[in-house]
Amino acid sequence: MICAGIDAGSRSIKVVLFDTERTQILASSIADQGVEQQRLTLEVFGRALAAAQLERAQISAIVATGYGRNAVKIADTTITEITCHARGVSHLAPGVRTILEIGGQDSKVIILEDRGRVRDFAMNDRCAAGTGRFLEVVAARLGVDLATLGELSHQSRAPAIISSMCVVFAETEIIGLLAEGASTPDIAAGVQKAIAARLLALAGRSVAAPVYFTGGVALQSGMVHALEDALSCAIQVPPMPQLTGALGAAILAGRLQRAGG
């Protein structure tokens, strides 16, 4: 049985096609989010089908998750991103106990029990600080792309202190640091350190190893190091960290299909 998971996030749309019998990903596709989400979803879904050399009729079930999940008309049902990320990461890393997820517009700490069951979670979805959007603003201000921003922090010798965690005020603070002669690497490292501190505050004392970091921001190695320093523990990044929500949705689609059949 082949199922699909669609993660309609605030910054991008991700699709994963999953073979439930062989328990493996057949194809995936990703695109930036836009105003025409339904059209974009169909395009991304179509690219995944083409990559796997499949037809729409061969997909047994589709589950949507993420910020825009209720607008995904081709989905059979929707499931929250908390549950889907937990299922996706647990599939890739059995035994995971804590998931740190930084998306485009929110950040999450998910605590798991045995077999990937969610025991507790905390989420910041009211402020862009501590999210991928914050890093996008910083990268634009520094005149670099996101990938470069992640690498720049490795060159830092004295991370700048970013005291404000409001995106607007932090950007003003960064302008002031540049005027004072602070280096780009030090500012990049300071921003990542500030985001890690905010995630630590969100987690409280709930962080238990093994800890896995997901979401598009997990592709930035500098952010991984900042989290390791803040949490004083090793942080693992699963393969394709930006796809864990869509993967979990596809796996759960298979379970729901079997239960219904």
According to CATH, where is 3.30.420.40 located in the chain? Answer: 1-93+240-261, 95-237
Q: What pLDDT, on a 0 to 100 scale, did the predictor assign at position 130?
A: 67
pTM for this predicted structure? 0.91
Structure tokens at 249: 């949705």
What is the rounded CA–CA span in Å between residue 165 and residue 185? 19
Indicate the SS3 state at residue 204: coil
Instruction: Report how far apart, in Å, the C-alpha atoms of 88 and of each of 46, 105, 172 are.
Output: 22, 20, 38
User: 95-237 has which CATH code?
Assistant: 3.30.420.40
Mean pLDDT of 57-61: 97
Instruction: Look over the chain and give the mean of its residue pLDDT values, rounded to a whole number.
Output: 90
Q: Are 91 and 251 in contact (CB under 8 A)?
A: yes
CATH T-level topology, domain 1-93+240-261: Nucleotidyltransferase; domain 5 (3.30.420)
Mean pLDDT of 82-90: 96
What are the pLDDT digits (tens) for 37-46? 899 999 999 9
Q: What pLDDT, on a 0 to 100 scale, did the predictor assign at position 228?
A: 94
The DSSP code for 253 is: H
